[in-house]
Structure 1
Amino acid sequence: MNEGNRESFGSRLGFILVSAGCAIGIGNVWKFPYMAGQNGGGIFVLFYLLFLAIMGIPVMTMELAIGRKSGLTMVKAYKKLEKPGQKWHVHGWICLAGSYILMMYYTTVSGWMLDYFYKFATGQFTTDEKPIEVSAVFDGLMNNPLEMGIFTVLTVLIGFGILSLGVRNGLEKVNKFMMIGLLILLAVLTTKSFRLDNAMEGLKFYLLPDLGRAKTVGLAKIISSAMSQAFFTLSIGMGSIEVFGSYMGKENRLTGESITIAVLDTVVAIMSGLIIFPACFSFGVEPSQGPSLIFATIPEIFVNMPMGRLWGTLFFMLMTFASFSTVTAVFENIVISVVDIFNIKRGTSVAINCAFLLVASLPCVLGFNVLKNLVFFGGRNVLDFEDFLVSNLILPSGALVILLFCVTRFGWGFDNYIDEVNIGSGIKMPAFLKHFYRIVLPVLILIILLQGLFSK
Structure 2
Amino acid sequence: MIEGKRESFGSRLGFILVSAGCAIGIGNVWKFPYVAGQNGGGVFVLFYLLFLVVMGIPVMTMELAMGRRSGLTMVKGYKKLEKSGQKWHIHGWVCLAGCYILMMYYTTVSGWMMDYFARFATGRFINNESVVDVSSSFENLLADPLEMGIFTVLTVLFGFGVLSFGVKNGLEKVNKFMMIGLLTLLAVLAVNSLRLEGAMEGLKFFLFPNWERAMNVGLGKVISSAMNQAFFTLSIGMGSIEVFGSYMDNKKRLTGESITIAALDTIVAIMSGIIIFPACFAYGVEPAQGPSLIFATLPEIFINMPFGRLWGTLFFILMTFASFSTVTAVFENIVISVVDTFGIKRTTSVIINCIFLVVSSIPCVLGFNVLKNMTFFGNKNVLDFEDYLVSNLILPTGALVMVLFCVTGFGWGFDNYLKEVNTGEGIKMPSALKYFYRIVLPVLIFIIIINGLKG
- The one-letter code matched in structure 2 to 1:319 is M
Match of 2:295 in 1: 295
Aligned-partner Cα distance in 2 for 1:213–1:300: 27
Match of 1:46 in 2: 46
Aligned-partner Cα distance in 1 for 2:241–2:339: 17
Aligned-partner Cα distance in 1 for 2:140–2:307: 24
Structure 2's unaligned 5+ residue stretches are: none
Structure 1's unaligned 5+ residue stretches are: none
User: Post-superposition shift, 1:129?
Assistant: 1.1
Aligned-partner Cα distance in 2 for 1:88–1:184: 42
Match of 1:76 in 2: 76
Aligned-partner Cα distance in 2 for 1:254–1:132: 50
Aligned-partner Cα distance in 2 for 1:248–1:287: 41
| 1:235-274 alignment, distance < 5 Å | 235-274=235-274
1:399-435 per-residue CA deviation (whole Å, 9 max, x = no partner) reads: 0000000000000000000000000000000000000
Aligned-partner Cα distance in 2 for 1:211–1:426: 37
Match of 2:322 in 1: 322
1:212-234 per-residue CA deviation (whole Å, 9 max, x = no partner) reads: 11111000000000000000000
1:373-397 per-residue CA deviation (whole Å, 9 max, x = no partner) reads: 0000001000000000000000000
Match of 1:308 in 2: 308
Aligned-partner Cα distance in 2 for 1:418–1:173: 32
Match of 2:408 in 1: 408
Aligned-partner Cα distance in 2 for 1:285–1:167: 43
Aligned-partner Cα distance in 1 for 2:258–2:138: 37
Matched, 1:107 2:111: no
Query: Does the aligned pair in 2 maintain the 1:4–1:72 contact within 8 Å?
Result: no
Match of 1:210 in 2: 210
Matched, 1:180 2:180: yes
SS at match of 1:361: helix
Which portions of structure 1, spanning 4 or more consecutive aligned residues, are displaced by more than 4 angstroms? none
TM score, norm. by length of structure 1: 0.99
Matched, 1:171 2:171: yes
1:422-452 per-residue CA deviation (whole Å, 9 max, x = no partner) reads: 0000000000000000000000000000110
Query: Does the aligned pair in 2 maintain the 1:4–1:340 contact within 8 Å?
Result: no
Aligned-partner Cα distance in 2 for 1:47–1:119: 37
1:340-399 per-residue CA deviation (whole Å, 9 max, x = no partner) reads: 001000000000000000000000000000000000000100000000000000000000
Aligned-partner Cα distance in 1 for 2:451–2:195: 40
Match of 1:366 in 2: 366
- The one-letter code matched in structure 2 to 1:372 is K
- The one-letter code matched in structure 2 to 1:20 is A
Aligned-partner Cα distance in 2 for 1:187–1:4: 42
Match of 2:161 in 1: 161
1:56-87 per-residue CA deviation (whole Å, 9 max, x = no partner) reads: 00000000000000000000000000000000
Aligned-partner Cα distance in 2 for 1:4–1:245: 16
Match of 1:278 in 2: 278
Aligned-partner Cα distance in 2 for 1:388–1:242: 22
1:7-28 per-residue CA deviation (whole Å, 9 max, x = no partner) reads: 0000000000000000000000
Identity, % of aligned positions: 79
- The one-letter code matched in structure 1 to 2:108 is T
Aligned-partner Cα distance in 2 for 1:3–1:210: 53
SS at match of 1:14: helix
1:247-302 per-residue CA deviation (whole Å, 9 max, x = no partner) reads: 00000000000000000000000000000000000000000000110001000101
State the Cα RMSD in Å.
0.6
SS at match of 1:375: coil
Match of 2:395 in 1: 395
- The one-letter code matched in structure 1 to 2:190 is T
| 1:75-154 alignment, distance < 5 Å | 75-154=75-154
Query: Does the aligned pair in 2 maintain the 1:45–1:226 contact within 8 Å?
Result: yes
SS at match of 2:402: helix
SS at match of 1:287: coil
Match of 2:427 in 1: 427
How many residues are paired up?
Answer: 455
Aligned-partner Cα distance in 2 for 1:181–1:439: 41
Aligned-partner Cα distance in 1 for 2:67–2:310: 42
User: Post-superposition shift, 1:3?
Assistant: 2.3
Query: Does the aligned pair in 2 maintain the 1:2–1:8 contact within 8 Å?
Result: no
Aligned-partner Cα distance in 1 for 2:300–2:212: 30
SS at match of 2:4: coil
| 1:341-380 alignment, distance < 5 Å | 341-380=341-380
Aligned-partner Cα distance in 2 for 1:255–1:46: 22
SS at match of 2:5: coil
Aligned-partner Cα distance in 2 for 1:399–1:104: 21
Match of 2:61 in 1: 61
Matched, 1:441 2:402: no
